[in-house]
Amino acid sequence: MSLKKLIPSKIPISLYIHLPWCEKKCPYCDFNININKSNGDEERLMIAIFQDIEDSLRNLNGRKFSSIYFGGGTPSLVSSKIIKKIINKLITLQIIQRDCEINFELNPKEVTKDYLAEIIDSGVNRVSLGIQSFDQSTLNSLERNHDSHDSFKALDILSEFKSIEASIDLIYGIMNQSLSSFRSDLDTFCLYQINHLSLYQLTIEPNTIFYKQELRIPEDSVIESMESIANKVLNKNNLYQYEVSSWSRNKKYSNHNMNYWMYGDYLGVGPGAHSKITSEGSIKRMVKLKKVNSYIENPAKSLITEIDNASYDLDLAMNLLRIKDGISFDELNRKNIYISKSFKEKILEGVNRGLLEKDTIKATAQGYKFLNDTVNLFN
């Protein structure tokens, strides 16, 4: 079998909707955001997104979206009426599964009871709350536009809605962040009995404001201590790591993110959105125009690159090996994910080096600890 024999209709597909507006640019953020929103921009972007989706129907190959993710930017800056219109459009087109997971990112500052009720009524059934830290001095270091009071208020409002799944974002490895304040963040999170945590180490990307500054981030030994604390605190509260940055209770995974890591397809719409689409004979990655007005004027235009046989193994490994419990060859076969002969040979090399387990696609404890080295076996 080769890439030319892939059957697109058998590969799961998700939808990502990028809503780019923010009140300000966080200094660690390298996402495509826009801080200048004018009257009418939301409606104009919505119309462009509709056109983009309709133009992309041929890429679905009869499939329906298993999950939808409203990301940004700050989606909660967009009117709930616009969110409802977008979801209703997808329902009208009959391209979402009945049990579709519909995710929505929220900034604690924008959470109100009315707004949350309105997006839930529209069909949103999972929210991700970008708290980052409960400690005000840590939030100040990150130059966030919300404070700790906003976070607690948002969580109290969220607790009134029992029908919706929720995830919290926290960051560690921040300038001046102590082990005790990080431990306090985790303890506070656990008090709320939320079933999912996205726990990210702060990384300083080249095109961010922080990259231009001389920052004193914690040393590797402190990072390791933080990760050890996270394991102990979260496991004690029945939350278990299932992916590099993801923890859940009762296997309440993010289905949308799992589709990424399982090498499923995804369609991205909105300014700067990324897609991975399998067609007969090829796998393509596409990126939309980044500027809001450019995208609105030409939503169909994308920068397209093709994943060839030479780069396929590494592309696949970079995703699959993030899953801590691994994945069987049978499961990948059911999802029509192609495993090359060279990929299997590299797995054997990893087994011999103690980085990968045998007869499955899973990193050993050592391989997961040094995941970059493990992934590079497939380069």
Task: Return the pLDDT at 253.
Answer: 97
Task: Return the pLDDT at 8.
Answer: 87
The 10s digit of each residue's pLDDT in 56-115 is 999 999 999 999 999 999 999 999 999 999 999 999 999 999 999 999 999 999 999 999
**350 with 374: CB under 8 angstroms?**
yes
Residue 130 clears pLDDT 90, i.e. is over it: yes
Q: Could you tell me the end-to-end alpha-carbon distance of the chain, in angstroms, rounded to an integer?
A: 21
Tokens 């495993």 -> residue:
339
- Give the number of other CB atoms < 10 A from CB of residue 221: 8
pTM summary value = 0.96
pLDDT band of 335, cuts 50, 70, 90: confident
The 10s digit of each residue's pLDDT in 231-269 is 999 999 999 999 999 999 999 999 999 999 999 999 999
Residue-range domain boundaries for the chain: 3-259, 327-379
Task: Return the pLDDT at 191.
Answer: 97
**Would you call 81 helix, strand, or coil by DSSP?**
helix
The 10s digit of each residue's pLDDT in 144-154 is 999 999 999 99
At residue 132, what are phi and psi to the nearest 5 degrees? Answer: 75, -45
Please report, for residues 88, 246, 270, 291, 300, the alpha-carbon distance to residue 294 in angstroms, rounded to integers and kept in the order given.
25, 34, 11, 5, 11
Fold of the CATH domain 3-259:
TIM Barrel (3.20.20)
Q: What angle do CA 257, 258, 259 make, to 5 degrees?
A: 90
Q: Which residues pair with 240 in a beta bridge?
A: 248
Work out whether the CA dihedral 69, 154, 205, 234 comes out positive or negative.
negative
The DSSP H or E segment spanning 287 is strand 282-288
Q: How far apart are CA 333 and CA 330, in angstroms?
A: 5
DSSP labels for 185-247?
HHHHHHHTT-SEEEEEE----TTSTGGGS---PPPHHHHHHHHHHHHHHHHHTT-EEEETTEE
Residue 2 CA to chain centroid, in angstroms? 29
Task: Return the pLDDT at 1.
Answer: 42
The 10s digit of each residue's pLDDT in 182-204 is 999 999 999 999 999 999 999 99
The 10s digit of each residue's pLDDT in 274-291 is 999 998 778 999 999 999
Averaged pLDDT of the chain: 95
Residue 136 clears pLDDT 50, i.e. is over it: yes
Helix runs in the chain, H state only: 41-55, 80-92, 113-122, 136-142, 148-158, 179-191, 220-236, 255-261, 292-297, 309-320, 329-334, 341-352, 365-369, 371-375
At residue 34, what are phi and psi to the nearest 5 degrees? Answer: -140, 130
- Would you call the peptide bond into 264 cis, given omega within 30 degrees of 0 as the criterion? no
The 10s digit of each residue's pLDDT in 4-33 is 667 888 899 999 999 999 999 999 999 999
